[in-house]
Structure 1
Amino acid sequence: MKTLNNHTILYDEDCPLCNAYTSTFINTKMLDEEGRKPYCKISNHEREFVDIERAANEIALVDNENKEVIYGIDSLLKIIGFSFPLIEKIGNFAPVNFLLRKLYSFISYNRKVIMPSEKKEDLNLECSPSFNFKYRLLYIVLGLLITVVTLFKFSELIEILPVSSYQREVFLAVGMVVSQLLFIIKKDYQTQINYIGNIITVSLFGCIGLFQLMLLRSVFPIPQSVILVGFTGTVALMFFEHKRRIQLLELPTYLSWTWIGYRILVLLLILNF
């Protein structure tokens, strides 16, 4: 690998994905040993030429010699392209670059609902992205669609359940969101949307668990009891993850119980009607 010297990438140290790929840049020698720095440790000198707000939304790459900064997908392409020029060329091809920018923004603006972190009161700078309703709504809609399809397919494996339909799963998924919103109706709009984003992430984690069960079922003849145990275990893990996120968001703890209560009520209604 060719090392891009005298450049420092400013990353969100509370973001697992940011940690992973910036450490990879260091370990593979794409950047030198001093080539990454937590956003919260930006010096007063760096604040003179780094756009602080933009750097929280798009990871910044600082040219330490020329005091120039590039952001987001451009910074990643420059680092990777220094070792692999062809990748940089492809990434800068207009249609590909457009898609990469949209994908980067989608992940970056939603990273705190994908992987929330504890608020650190002692920090002067916190690397939290600006609230972007467009990308948050897109994340919620995509998450709901994935949840609906996964639950519809998984319901076919549980013999005691009546035949499902996409309409029913859409109604139940949207109903879950609406019912939880009713319990935080007095909270501000941004808090409500952030909470719904976290609910969607918990649902997507559950989808991963259910997908693994479906994959195993397609390969091995798994008994119905094992499927039920696996489903129950997945829901239990989702409950504890929801509870953890509620604490991080500093929302009422009863939201975890209303969240699981809705699911129990829905299951009883499906089994009896």
Structure 2
Amino acid sequence: MKTLENQTLLYDEDCPLCSLYTTGFIKAGMLDQNGRKPYCNLSNEEQDFVDVKRAANEIALIDYTTKTTTYGIDSLIKVIGFSFPWIEKIIAAKPVYFLLRKFYSFVSYNRKVIIPAQAKENKLECVPDFNYKYRSLFIGFALTITTFVLFGYSNLILNIPKSTITRELIVAFGQIVFQSLFLFKFDKQTILNYAGNLMTVSLMGSLILMPILILSQFMQLPQMIILGWFAGTVLIMFLEHFRRIKILKLPFYLSFTWIIYRIIALFLILN
């Protein structure tokens, strides 16, 4: 495998996915041992030929020979294409390139709500700009997945009325509206940032419920397992929500209103 030498990817060290794939490039021999570097360790000299603001949004690849920098999906194409030219040709096709670029932006602009990190003082932070379009798309994506998973799982529980997509959509979206009522003193960006984290927690819960949904297609599961798994999922979601509230430095009572909403929703469903 050909190695792209004397070039370094600047990655967000607080993003496990960024760390994973940059490490993978080095282990695979696609980059040399100096092929990655945390964004926060960017030197003053490097900042002369790196757009620091853009590099926080799109992973930057520094070419130390020419002292030039490429960004985002183009950086990844350059690394992968050097070892696999045929992949570069496929990605270079306009429809493929367009879709990959949009997908990259979708993940990059939302990575801090997917995996939030505690802000560190006196450190150059790799924090992407707030993008209303991609944040709204992420919330919509998580809302859709959550709605369909809740629809499927609710129908496994025999003691509640049969579920509908509309009901589960109202329940999932209603959580955002209900929680936002307790953030009326905050600006729109803070509310949307919280909503993104809120829906990440819901998405995480949906993924935890998926194994039971899949198993139920092949066997009859006892109600004890279905209810117990659901209760365990809610507990994990509550703890994760509480952890994120601390990171975001938002009022702690949001975790308790999160529980109150679910109790209210269950009461309305049962009645």
TM-score of Structure 1 vs Structure 2, range by shorter chain:
over 0.9
Question: Does residue 47 of structure 2 align to residue 47 of structure 1?
Answer: yes
Give 2:196's aligned residue: 197
Return the alpha-carbon distance in structure 2 between the equivalents of residues 264 and 213 of structure 1.
23
The equivalences for 1:103-182 within 5 A come to 103-123=103-123, 125-182=124-181
Cα displacement string for residues 159-202 of structure 1 (whole angstroms, at most 9, x for unaligned residues): 00101111211211111110100001101111110000000100
SS of the residue 2:183 aligns to: coil
Equivalent residue letter for 2:201 = V
SS of the residue 2:8 aligns to: strand
Give 1:14's aligned residue: 14
Return the alpha-carbon distance in structure 1 between the equivalents of residues 30 and 218 of structure 2.
41
Q: Which runs of 5+ in 1 are unaligned?
A: none
Return the alpha-carbon distance in structure 2 between the equivalents of residues 174 and 36 of structure 1.
40
Return the alpha-carbon distance in structure 2 between the equivalents of residues 166 and 66 of structure 1.
56
The equivalences for 1:61-76 within 5 A come to 61-76=61-76
Cα displacement string for residues 104-144 of structure 1 (whole angstroms, at most 9, x for unaligned residues): 00000000000000100121x10000000000001111111
Give 1:25's aligned residue: 25
Give how far 1:70 is off.
0.4
Return the alpha-carbon distance in structure 2 between the equivalents of residues 195 and 241 of structure 1.
13
Equivalent residue letter for 1:57 = N
Return the alpha-carbon distance in structure 2 between the equivalents of residues 57 and 169 of structure 1.
34
Cα displacement string for residues 12-58 of structure 1 (whole angstroms, at most 9, x for unaligned residues): 00001000000001111111001100001111111111000000000
Q: Which runs of 4+ in 1 moved over 4 A?
A: none
Return the alpha-carbon distance in structure 2 between the equivalents of residues 256 and 53 of structure 1.
33
Residue identity (%) = 58
Equivalent residue letter for 1:42 = L
Equivalent residue letter for 1:70 = T
Return the alpha-carbon distance in structure 2 between the equivalents of residues 220 and 18 of structure 1.
39
Give how far 1:153 is off.
1.1
Return the alpha-carbon distance in structure 2 between the equivalents of residues 255 and 55 of structure 1.
33
Give how far 1:220 is off.
3.1
Task: Select between 126-135 and 142-151 the one with higher mean Cα deviation.
Answer: 142-151
Give 2:245's aligned residue: 246
Return the alpha-carbon distance in structure 1 between the equivalents of residues 24 and 219 of structure 2.
37
Return the alpha-carbon distance in structure 2 between the equivalents of residues 197 and 226 of structure 1.
30
Return the alpha-carbon distance in structure 2 between the equivalents of residues 67 and 211 of structure 1.
48
Return the alpha-carbon distance in structure 1 between the equivalents of residues 185 and 19 of structure 2.
36
Question: Does residue 221 of structure 2 align to residue 214 of structure 1?
Answer: no
Return the alpha-carbon distance in structure 2 between the equivalents of residues 112 and 167 of structure 1.
30
Give how far 1:3 is off.
0.7
Give how far 1:241 is off.
0.4
Equivalent residue letter for 2:174 = G
Return the alpha-carbon distance in structure 2 between the equivalents of residues 160 and 109 of structure 1.
41
Alignment coverage as a number of residue pairs: 271
Equivalent residue letter for 2:16 = P
Equivalent residue letter for 2:269 = I
Return the alpha-carbon distance in structure 2 between the equivalents of residues 122 and 161 of structure 1.
53
Return the alpha-carbon distance in structure 1 between the equivalents of residues 32 and 162 of structure 2.
58
SS of the residue 2:136 aligns to: helix
Give 1:230's aligned residue: 229
Equivalent residue letter for 2:188 = Y
Give how far 1:219 is off.
2.6
RMSD, aligned α-carbons? 0.8
Return the alpha-carbon distance in structure 2 between the equivalents of residues 114 and 14 of structure 1.
11
Equivalent residue letter for 2:192 = I
Equivalent residue letter for 1:194 = N
Q: Which runs of 5+ in 2 are unaligned?
A: none
Return the alpha-carbon distance in structure 2 between the equivalents of residues 172 and 139 of structure 1.
18
